[in-house]
Structure 1
Amino acid sequence: MLKIKDQQTGEVATDRETGASLHTMMVMLMEDGRAEVLKVTVPETSLAAGLKPGAMVRAIELFATPWARIFNGQLSEGVAYRAARLELVTVEAAQ
């Protein structure tokens, strides 16, 4: 899904270095018997060919950036995730 920079104009967010369109991908992190859904931003040019829903991927150079803002007197906070690229993982490589 394309990442929108400005909701009012529909402007698409782009990578500052390459100008590539950014996509927000929903990725499920499985660890120690728990699952967590992360929204990871990835440049369009770095998405694996053949990527489809449910595919196993490996996030390369994954960075987590904490953020906080006050809007209408309410504090919102979270973590933004960004990966340099997503690679498809084969079943054999996952074992």
Structure 2
Amino acid sequence: MARIRVGLLPSAVCMAGTEATLKIKDPQTGEVATDRETGEHLYTVTVMLMEDGRADVLKITVAQSGIPAGLKPGVMVRPVDLFATPWARIFNGQLSDGIAYRAAKLELVK
């Protein structure tokens, strides 16, 4: 699957919209998603990206060690090593598609 590095403009502003939420791999069993390389638990954070007069909402996956202390809604953040992975699947006979975002860490912006 293609991983695409996301380059943000210097003028880009990112604001956390949610606290970090544990990512569940299988809702039926409650199995927690983990990083394939480190085994760390994965979390998702909804981030509002404002750039060039427009805004987008990104749901970014980050390993537990990449979640800074003090992360809460409304705090300015900077995603580090942000990648986008397009995906598609057929579920119940219907095509679903989207983009999954993954960052090495989120940094609080002072």
Bigger helix fraction: 1
Alignment of 1:42-81 (within 5 A): 42-81=62-101
Alignment of 1:1-95 (within 5 A): 1-90=21-110
Unpaired runs of 5+ in structure 2?
Answer: 1-20
1:51 Cα deviation (Å)? 1.1
Unpaired runs of 5+ in structure 1?
Answer: 91-95
After superposition, the CA RMSD in angstroms is 0.7
Letter in 2 for 1:36: D
Which consecutive segments of 4 or more residues in structure 1 shift more than 2 A? none
Q: 3-state DSSP class of the match of 2:65?
A: helix
Aligned length: 90
Taking the aligned partners of 1:39 and 1:74, their CA distance within structure 2 comes to 22
Identity %: 74
Q: 3-state DSSP class of the match of 1:50?
A: coil
Larger relative contact order (Cα-Cα within 8 Å, sequence gap ≥ 6): 2
